[in-house]
Amino acid sequence: MDPVWTEVVELALVLRDDIGATLHLRLQGSEVWTEALGYEVRMGAPIDLADKGRTLRSLLSAAAIEPGSIIDISSPSRPAIVPPGSSQVEVEGSDEET
């Protein structure tokens, strides 16, 4: 089995409630993106998706996130909320850093 599918299954198991039921993953370049509860979510490379799912669940339940923000969990230990209108979609330590 392709390791990416294993990651997707693990993510689905973590987000199997109302969040997981509405998730549609898409690949943009080499990154996974989705929309969750009205927020664009950057998941980064398709690795550690279960950890990224747990981080997403925590952010959505604990933080008051401004509508239109992008949730960046490409580094699950350093998630970021990118406010609407910001062109910055990077997380310190992510593979997008120059």
Averaged over 45-62, what is the pLDDT? 92
Q: Which residue has the higher pLDDT, 17 or 15?
A: 15
In the chain, domain spans = 3-82
d(CA 60, CA 48): 18
The pTM of this model reads 0.80
CA quadruple 10, 11, 14, 15: dihedral positive or negative?
A: negative
The residues, any chain, with a CB within 8 Å of residue 60's CB and separated by 6 or more, are 19, 36, 37, 39, 71
Averaged over 29-35, what is the pLDDT? 92
Structure tokens at 46: 């398709």
